[in-house]
Every structure is written in C-alpha cells, then in structure tokens.
C-alpha cells in the first residue's frame, strides 16, 4: 500500500509522467497553426526547465503564461529561422546545376551556414524561455552559448538527432515514433534536455 502514498517514489514518478503528457499535448495543439511553433517551443522549454529544477508548476497555466509572454519574440525568431531553412533547402537543390570544384565549394558553404543555423536553433527557444531580450540579441546569444558550451551542445544535439534517427529507422519505428511524439515525445525530450540547459543558463543568471 506504500506505493499509493502521495509522497512515494512511484506516485511522484507517475505524477511527473502525467505532467509530461499534459505538457506534450498542449504543445502539439498550440503548434498546429505552424507559425506558432516558435512560441510553443519557448513555452515548452519554460515549463520543462521548471520541472527539471524540481518544481511542480500548474502545467497548463504556466504554459499559457509563457506562451503569451514570449509570443512576439519567439514568433519573429521562428519565422526568420523557417525562412532561412527554406532558402537553404532551395539553394541545396539549385547548386546541382554546377559541377566540379564550384559545386563542392558551394556545398561546403551551404553546409557551414546550415551548421550555424542548427547551433542557433538548438539554444534559441530555450534561451527565449529563460531570458528576456530582443530578437537580434537572442539569436546572437544562442550562437554564443552553443559555441561556449561545446560539450553540452554535443549532448543536446545527440539527444535530438538520436531520437529522430530511431523514429525514421524503419516504417514500424516511424509509426510507433509518430504516436510517441504526439503524446509524450517532445515534452520528454525537452525535459531531459532541461537538466543540461539549466546548468548552462545558471552561469548567466
């Protein structure tokens, strides 16, 4: 019967799982308009980092509060990052008309830009969730953090890339992964990452 005591490890674990599921579902719903994905990500990491620090926030209320607070900055950042990603995709397709050394140089240049884009994106929305700043300074500081904390950056990237590779590994893992991402995946990933992000951000608070 000790398993059902409110303060038991089992009940705390089940409560945390419930928090993550609730957080994931509201994130998915608020991301559906697409242009709100950036705001949803910032709200997701706001709540995930509070959970990572051991708090027990009211999930829906804290999420909506962060969603409203970060809407302008996060939306502008998301639209800019999405536009750059689309341009990079188009450029990668267009350089196919070149050959030889020109093609290699252009591909390397675009790969470098894509790498910078990935580094900024990795920290950008968690940064917006944690600090108030302008759009330009948020992007600059996201890039700075990714370079200044290479070990953390590699682990954060490894978590994201590893989960997506597993999801796309086979048709079966894709189906199972899609269900998992819908109900728990995004919030679970943000929760795991939050332990590292909190350690990085604590140096600048």
Three-state SS string across 15-44, please? HHHHHHHHHHHHHHHHHCCCCCHHHHHHHH
In this predicted structure, the answer to whether residue 1 has a pLDDT above a threshold of 60 is: no
In this predicted structure, the answer to whether residue 196 has a pLDDT above a threshold of 90 is: yes
Distance (Å, rounded) from C-alpha 94 to C-alpha 105? 14
Helix axis angle, 135-148 relative to 100-130, nearest 10°? 110
In this predicted structure, the answer to whether residue 96 has a pLDDT above a threshold of 90 is: no
* Predicted TM-score of the model (pTM): 0.90
User: Greater confidence, 1 or 143?
Assistant: 143
Look at residue 7 in the predicted model and tell me its pLDDT.
65
pLDDT in tens, 54-72: 888 899 999 999 999 999 9
Q: Provide CB contacts within 8 A for 81, sequence distance 6+.
A: 38, 117, 120, 121, 124
Q: Which residues of 4-26 are buried (b: 16+ CB within 10 A; e: fewer)?
A: eeeeeeeeeeeeeeebbebbbbb
Look at residue 112 in the predicted model and tell me its pLDDT.
94
Look at residue 57 in the predicted model and tell me its pLDDT.
86
pLDDT in tens, 154-188: 999 999 999 999 999 999 999 999 999 999 999 99
Look at residue 8 in the predicted model and tell me its pLDDT.
66
pLDDT in tens, 3-53: 555 566 777 778 889 999 999 999 999 999 899 999 999 999 999 999 998
């Amino acid at each position: 019967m000790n398993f059902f005591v409110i303060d038991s490890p089992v009940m705390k674990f089940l409560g945390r799982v419930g928090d993550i599921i609730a957080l994931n579902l509201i994130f998915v719903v608020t991301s559906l308009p697409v242009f709100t994905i950036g705001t949803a990500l910032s709200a997701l990491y706001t709540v995930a980092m509070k959970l990572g620090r051991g708090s027990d926030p009211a999930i829906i209320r804290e999420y909506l509060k962060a969603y409203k607070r970060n809407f302008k900055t996060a939306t502008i950042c998301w639209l800019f990052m999405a536009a750059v990603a689309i341009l990079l995709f188009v450029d990668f397709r267009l350089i196919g008309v070149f050959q030889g050394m020109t093609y290699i140089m252009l591909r390397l240049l675009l790969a470098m830009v894509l790498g910078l884009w990935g580094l900024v994106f990795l920290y950008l929305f968690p940064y917006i969730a944690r600090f108030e700043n302008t759009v330009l300074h948020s992007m600059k500081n996201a890039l700075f953090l990714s370079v200044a904390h290479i070990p953390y950056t590699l682990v954060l990237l490894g978590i994201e890339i590893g989960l997506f590779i597993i999801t796309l590994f086979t048709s079966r893992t894709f189906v199972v992964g899609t269900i998992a991402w819908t109900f728990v995946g995004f919030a679970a990933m943000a929760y795991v990452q939050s332990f590292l992000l909190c350690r990085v951000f604590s140096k600048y608070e």
